[in-house]
Chain A
Amino acid sequence: MTELKNQIKQLIISSLDLEDITVDDIENDQPLFVDGLGLDSIDALELGLAIKKEFNVKIDANSEQTKAHFASVDALANFINQHTS
């Protein structure tokens, strides 16, 4: 799981061109959007695409659940685990 979380963090950094941010700077339970890491709605689309490509999981763009899945690295890791196993 730690490996998956680091993989997700690396994907967040590379797909969103986060300059000056390393894997160690992102906490597992830190909010990704607005507060916390400070990502915005364009990042949400970009990250959704990157996760779809990397892990081959389907993401429903309009569901409330999707919002919850993208809340933090922990939430994303759980989501990906459930849909790839």
Chain B
Amino acid sequence: MKFVVNNLCLWVAPEQQIAELGQHTYCDLDLSWVAPMQRRRLSPFMKMALHTLQQAQAEHSHIAINFSSRHGDLPKTAHLLHALVEEEPLSPTAFGLSVHNAATGIFSIIKNNTAPMNAIAGGQDSVISNLIDGYARIQSGIENCILVAHTESVLPEEYLPFADEKQIDHSVAFVLSPYVEGESYFELTKLSGSTDAGNTDSVLPLSIQLAQALSSKESSALLSHQQSAWMLQHYGG
């Protein structure tokens, strides 16, 4: 699977910076383009997602979007579940914004972008599923390019015992386009067999591993977690 990546944007919460990534992921979230009356309803999850979507979108004003997240806005969902347990009425705003495609929906409304948008949840491989779906869409000619975005929040406390990767508030987005002969590109290959990705506390989320590899443009990078592994290779033009 060969493809081209542009406008890569990775955001990691300032207090959760990862040594391997260096300092380049640190910046303040820029949501100055969102009207204050709309901004007030945005959760931390939504703010990360919108920031990276906007940064990566850049000059593409009417671009299709593939958004993925393992758990979506789980802090918000957990809060709603608490309200249900307490038999309190649910907040209509929180309920409306807890659905998986809320981030793309809000982005679409604010940017007046009516291009098709998908929202994907596929376990630990979510970002890869996103990439494969995006690849299929550009390869089939449905889209010339597509904005691929992935956002994840740290699990709420009650879910932490189930964590199987390092918990980091982060969001990544980039523009995916088809491979053109003579230009530099990436190639993703699924590796067979099981991998030893280390213990669950130290495995970086696949989305961060991917962003790291796309950013460094190393000739080959291994992306892996407990269940599966991929090889991402970069070829200069």
Interface of B is mostly: helix
A54 within 8 A of B: no
Q: Which one, A2-10, A16-24, A63-71, A76-84, is touching chain B?
A: A16-24
The answer to whether B190 has its CB under 8 Å from any CB of chain A is no
Interface residues of B in 95-148 (CB under 8 A from A): 96
Which one of A17, A38, A52, A53 lies within 8 Å of B41 (CB-CB)?
A17
Interface size of A as a range:
10 to 19
CB contact between A19 and one of B40, B88, B91 (< 8 Å): that residue? B40
Q: Is the C-beta of A1 less than 8 angstroms from some C-beta in chain B?
A: no
A19 CA / B39 CA spacing, docked (Å): 9
In the complex, how many angstroms separate the beta carbon of A17 from the nearest chain B beta carbon? 4
- Distance from A62 Cβ to chain B, minimum over Cβ atoms (Å): 15
* Nearest chain B residue, comparing its CB with the CB of A43: B93
Q: How far is the CB of B75 from chain A (nearest CB, A)?
A: 15
Docked pose: A33 CA to B93 CA in angstroms: 16
CB of A20 within 8 A of CB of B36, answer yes
User: Is B22 interfacial (CB 8 A cutoff)?
Assistant: no
User: Are B89 and A42 closer than 8 Å at their CB atoms?
Assistant: no
Q: A45 to B37, Cβ gap below 8 A?
A: no
* Contact assessment for A46 and B37 in the assembled complex, using a CB-CB cutoff below 8 Å: no
Contact A42 B36 (CB under 8 A): no
Binding site for A on B (CB under 8 A): 36-37, 39-41, 88-89, 91-93, 96
In the complex, 20 of the A-B residue pairs with CB atoms within 8 angstroms, ordered by the A residue number, are: A16-B40, A17-B40, A17-B41, A18-B40, A19-B36, A19-B39, A19-B40, A38-B37, A42-B92, A42-B93, A42-B96, A43-B93, A45-B93, A46-B91, A49-B89, A49-B91, A49-B92, A52-B89, A53-B88, A53-B89
